[in-house]
Amino acid sequence: MRLQKLIIHGFKSFFNRTVLSFDEDITCIVGPNGCGKSNVVDAIKWALGEQSAKALRGKGMDDVIFAGSEKRPPMGMSEVTLVFERDINEPPPVPWLDFPEIKVGRILHRDGTSEYRLQNLPCRLKDIVDVFLGTGLGARTYSIIEQGKISSLIASRPDERRALFEEAAKISRYKSRRREAARRLTESTHNLDRIEDMIRELGRRVNTLKRQKEAAEQYESLLTRLNELEMWRLLDQHQQLTAQVEQHRKRAVELRTMLEGARVNEQAEKNKVEVLSLKKQEADITYRDGVQQYVGLEKGVSSQESVIKIAENEIRHEEETAERTKKELGELAERKKRKELLVDQSREKSEHLKAVVKIKKEELTLLEIRYTTVKNDKLEGEGKLNEIKKKLFTFEKEKAQIEAQEASSQLRLKSVEEGIAQCRAREVELGEELTAAVTSRDTCLADQGGLKEKIAALNTEISATDEKIAALSREREVLLGQHLGIKERVSRLSGELGYVREMIARREDLSEGNKRFLEALEKKNLLVETAGIMVERLKPHDDWRIAGEALFTGMLGYVLTADREMALRLIDMAKTLKVSTGLCITKEGFTPRGTVPLEDAVPARECFEELDPQLEVLLDGWYFTPDLPAALALAETLPLHGGCVTSDGIVVSARGPVLVPGKKAASGFAFRKKLELLEGENATLKKEDDAMASKIRGIEEADQGVKKERNLHTSARAELEKALSQANEAWNKAETSVKVLGNSRQLNGERLSQLLKELDTLKGASGSKGLKTLNEHISTLQTTLWQTEDRLTLHNEAFLNVHEELGDLKVAVQTWETKLLAEDAQVERLRSEIREVDDQSRLITEARGHSAERIKVLNEQLVTARERGKVLAVELAGHKKIHDELGKQLSLISEELEKQKQVLREKSDAAARIGSELGSLKLELSRLEGNRGYVEREYEEKFGVGVASGSSLLEELGSFSREAETERLRLRDRANVQKSDYNPAAIREYNEVFEKHAYLVEQKSDLVVAVKNLEKAIALITQTTRKRFLAAFNDISDKFSKLFPTLFNGGSASLVLEEGDPLEAGVEIIAQPPGKKLQSMELLSGGEKAMTAIALIFSMFLYSPSPFCILDEVDAPLDEANVEKYNELLRKMSERTQFIIVTHNRLTMEAADRLYGVTMEERGVSRAISLDVEQLEDFG
């Protein structure tokens, strides 16, 4: 795996999207101080998952986002992508990542949101770390040596130095698995403790709930008897209330008769009172009319006097008003002249503003047209980009699924092989233990009697049932595994079927022009009037499918029609749509021209299934051959309209041209053939699924029956063993040992057999298919994606410029329009004020006319009022005598009416007494009916039926006796006492807790097995890790001791592990340059420390080469002689490892195969330039 590309955008000083290609073995990055060379190294570390901002030379993680410069604004995000090239012959870093190119990316937004990407898909940081575990790559591994780290490697603590050796030994993945297993072990142990606590707690609850259940059953029995007595009591009470209600109803009828007679007498007296009242009312009306006339005359006289005074006052007021309005008219005329002058001035200013606004709007219209064009280009680019990303995501997801299935099979195969080895070892152990147990059992057989024979017989039967249960369980597990496999295959096929059907429905196998043309035909319902399209009418044989695709290249989307008028319509439509497409006019009654005698040649028309006779004309003169020589030979003998096509798709025309096909996506033939195969396989799998489900149900039913039989045998054996236990304890122990070992051996043998079967199945499984085609699709789409992103960047810049210019112009237009509106509003306001002045003048003039008329009318009213006053005074004197006579008559009628009312009151009192008695009776009757209704509701609420349903029970029991009431009260008291202890849910809770307790006991057993398995796995991982680490350490130490004298021209060096566990011990470095005996590494010079660290790093690369190595100014402390040694070592190591070097040293640059110069042509913005080695002399 090699680093192919580094793509940086918005990271630190790299504002523009920068792509650095690393195609050579040694690449140098050079440039002056502060230009951004080390930012390239930081970008690689950051993309590999570096989480420390300090390690990236920043205070916060947002410091990696471009912060802006004098000419560039700050960016909102930072993005870095690493593209690795992988040898497809080597195993992938993780099973599901089997791609020729591996892309790792990281994005950070200004708001703090972060995103990691793997193959352009969102992922977790853990996924990226897992990919590079054991490869030497990572944010803090020996593959990246930044500034200052080369010397700190010598000065670091032994335990810190150990991490580099673990990475070189490739045990990081094992340690990660060990941590995961330890975590799961801790969780399982915790869960086991928790389940044991729950089992103890539930055990206590079972006993408590059992007592509550018994109390609840006793209480419910008591309630049943109490309800019977309550029913009897309520029925008797209802019967008594019904009798009282009937008695009260009869008395009510008698009182109603008496009340009606009293009311007749009362009504006769009321009639007399009403006659006298009418007379009194008539006299009263006559008297009141006289009073009203007298009062009216007095008011008339007073009113005329008031009218005279009012008229005189109004005349004076109207005269004063006329004088005042005359002055107001003069003031309004002068005000109108001033307003008209202001209107003329504002109108001239408004015309000038209208001309300016018109010019600005024309400029705005032109700019909006340009803005729309640029925006459409941008949206079109974004749409294409999204479409490409969706396709890429679909292909990569499908590929990942295939790879994951293959990886899962490999892991299971390894697990099965390890299980077989364990079972065979266990078989030997169980055999020895079983032999010893049988010997012990035989020594006790002399003491056995009749009971032992019975127990032996039962044990035989139980063993048989156990074997049946075990066999059924194994068979069920096998069937469930097969059933799950079928389900997974059905699910996978459903996904593939959906994909293929969608591709055919969307016509992705046809050209863009054909797709657009067919969509237009479908919208106009014209496609049904044709004979279909060629890809649907032609079905080549499997052996000649590639040849058929080559022969009809570009034509599979053509529309077929036999109607020439329809053909002309279709051609006109294609011209209108401006699409590149075609159609085929079929012919009837075609006769083939014969065959050419050649053994290997097959007429093309014979290579298609159910070929329509109308399409045979298309294949006339064409032949399919197995290879190119046969095709070339046959083409020379064919007519010019014909030709040959080889089985691998090479088209040889009789006219001479030869067409060699390139790589392409699957055609319509391939899609439809794949759809046919998938549908057949899907139907077969569904039948297998139904049959498998039926088998599983049958086995589960049989298993239940066998388990019941075993339970019966177990119960019988327990009774016999209880009688035999005291006299036969030694024999029981031996017998138990034999059974346990026998069952264990049997289960072990069964598991071994099952694992051997599974091993054969896994070895016979075929690998995944179709990855090559998917990789080609993904590579093509990725190239298109990069090109589309570049074009979209240009469209975005143009869009922003036009958008800003358009906004400025809109603001200007709005400003001028605002001024114009203000002037128009000023003109309208002045005109409104002028209209108001005119209205006021008109109103004042009208008011003056009305005042003159009003004075005239008031004078006439004044004369009339004075004459009317004299007439009314004479009428008032005559009417006073009539008023006194009417008052005397009204007094006589009132006295007679009072006497008759006294008689009426006596009759009314008699009727009221009868009514009061009847009302009291009704209240009592209502009370009795209410009590009876209450009894009925209570009965219905308690027993859910009406009172009428209990009539037969009451006839049977009779009246509710005193003894029954005593029993009812006694039972009610007992129920009240027991109610506090009654738990209505006790029975249900007891059953639930009992079942849960049994379930937890079963779960505990499973957890104990899981804990043991995890402990074994941790021990195995620890053993493997220790072995690999020690082997790696010894090899690196050996290489270090050999490389050190080479670099120093003598001396010695070695690596030593500290005491203790090798998996936790630190690593000490012992180095003795030639001629020196140092007691401490700190006494080495800077150059010696650097050379020692280089020897150690390169020793690690010799043992475990990393895909690439980054060295940031590692050669800075070295002199020229040591730089030469350093460069010579780089050249040798570059055969196995790719090197990326940041340096200022010219000698190191000369060792490079490619140079990248990093400059800051624009202050604050870095730019990378690819340089030739010959340009070093001109580099500053």
Question: What pLDDT score does 821 carry?
Answer: 78
Question: What pLDDT score does 82 carry?
Answer: 93
Q: To the nearest whole percent, how much of the chain has pLDDT over 90?
A: 4
**Backbone φ, ψ for residue 603 (5° rounding):** -55, 140
Question: What pLDDT score does 121 carry?
Answer: 86
Q: Token pair of 46, please?
A: 């950051």
* Pairing mode of beta strands 2-9, 77-85: antiparallel
Average pLDDT over residues 583-589: 55
* Residue 487 parent element (H or E): helix 450-505
Choice among 191-195, 242-246, 497-501, 665-669 with the minimum mean pLDDT: 665-669
Q: Virtual CA dihedral for 720, 724, 726, 729, nearest 10 degrees?
A: -110
Question: What pLDDT score does 108 carry?
Answer: 93
Q: What is the Cα–Cα distance from 398 to 377, expressed in whole angstroms?
A: 32
**Cα diameter, the chain:** 165
Question: What pLDDT score does 686 carry?
Answer: 79
Q: What is the Cα–Cα distance from 1156 to 74, expressed in whole angstroms?
A: 26
Q: Where are the domains of the chain?
A: 510-664
DSSP letters for 364-421: HHHHHHHHHHHHHHHHHHHHHHHHHHHHHHHHHHHHHHHHHHHHHHHHHHHHHHHHHH
Q: What is the Cα–Cα distance from 557 to 527, expressed in whole angstroms?
A: 12
pLDDT above 60 (res 639): yes
Choice among 171-185, 264-278, 406-420 with the minimum mean pLDDT: 406-420
User: How does the average pLDDT of the chain come out, rounded?
Assistant: 76
Q: What is the Cα–Cα distance from 803 to 373, expressed in whole angstroms?
A: 12
> Residue 1140's beta-bridge partner residues?
27, 1110
1162 burial level (CB within 10 Å; 0-12, 13-18, 19+): middle
Q: Token pair of 637, please?
A: 């003998």
pLDDT grade for 612, boundaries at 50, 70 and 90: low
pLDDT above 50 (res 666): no
Q: Token pair of 710, please?
A: 């075993």
**Backbone φ, ψ for residue 36 (5° rounding):** 110, 20
Average pLDDT over residues 793-815: 73
Nearest CA to 763 out of 399, 397, 420 is that of 420
Question: What pLDDT score does 553 carry?
Answer: 63
Nearest CA to 446 out of 171, 734, 653 is that of 734
Helix axes 158-168, 986-1048, angle to 10 degrees: 100
The more confident residue out of 1154 and 312 is: 1154
Question: Residue for token digits 């090197």?
Answer: 1139
Q: Virtual CA dihedral for 225, 231, 233, 239, nearest 10 degrees?
A: -160
Under DSSP, is residue 655 helix (H, G, I), strand (E, B) or coil? coil
Residues whose CB falls within 8 Å of the CB of residue 1173, separated by 6 or more in sequence, listed in order: 1149, 1150, 1152, 1153, 1155
pLDDT grade for 590, boundaries at 50, 70 and 90: very low
767 C-beta neighbours (distance < 10 Å), count:
10
Average pLDDT over residues 264-289: 75
Q: Token pair of 479, please?
A: 């069937």
pLDDT grade for 7, boundaries at 50, 70 and 90: very high
Nearest CA to 766 out of 1010, 402, 520, 369 is that of 402
Q: Are 816 and 355 in contact (CB under 8 A)?
A: no
State pTM to two decimals: 0.38
pLDDT grade for 894, boundaries at 50, 70 and 90: confident
Give the sign of the dihedral formed by CA 131, CA 134, CA 140, CA 146.
negative
For the chain, the helix, strand and coil percentages under 3-state DSSP, each to the nearest 5: 70, 10, 20
pLDDT grade for 671, boundaries at 50, 70 and 90: low
Q: Where are the alpha helices (DSSP H) in 624-667?
A: 628-635
- Cα 186 from chain centre: 32
Average pLDDT over residues 657-681: 63
Nearest CA to 932 out of 944, 946, 918 is that of 946
Residues 742-778: tens digit of each pLDDT: 767 777 777 777 777 777 776 665 444 456 677 777 7
Choice among 22-26, 601-605, 1005-1009 with the minimum mean pLDDT: 601-605
Mean pLDDT highest for which of 4-13, 658-667, 813-822? 4-13
* Pairing mode of beta strands 622-625, 602-603: antiparallel
Helix axes 668-724, 450-505, angle to 10 degrees: 160
Under DSSP, is residue 641 helix (H, G, I), strand (E, B) or coil? coil
Question: Residue for token digits 């925006």?
Answer: 375
Q: What is the Cα–Cα distance from 232 to 950, expressed in whole angstroms?
A: 9
pLDDT grade for 103, boundaries at 50, 70 and 90: very high
Question: What pLDDT score does 697 carry?
Answer: 79
Question: What pLDDT score does 440 carry?
Answer: 67
pLDDT grade for 476, boundaries at 50, 70 and 90: confident
Residues 77-101: tens digit of each pLDDT: 999 999 998 877 777 777 777 788 8
Question: What pLDDT score does 454 carry?
Answer: 75
Nearest CA to 548 out of 448, 658, 645, 683 is that of 645
Question: What pLDDT score does 593 carry?
Answer: 47
> Residue 198's beta-bridge partner residues?
none
**Backbone φ, ψ for residue 532 (5° rounding):** 95, -165
Q: Amino acid identity of 1072?
A: Q
* Pairing mode of beta strands 622-625, 583-585: unpaired
pLDDT grade for 1180, boundaries at 50, 70 and 90: very low
Mean pLDDT highest for which of 8-17, 55-64, 528-537? 8-17
Choice among 53-57, 565-569, 1022-1026 with the minimum mean pLDDT: 565-569
Q: What is the Cα–Cα distance from 718 to 821, expressed in whole angstroms?
A: 108
pLDDT grade for 106, boundaries at 50, 70 and 90: very high
Residues whose CB falls within 8 Å of the CB of residue 368, separated by 6 or more in sequence, listed in order: 806
**Backbone φ, ψ for residue 540 (5° rounding):** -75, 155
Per-residue DSSP letter, 486: H
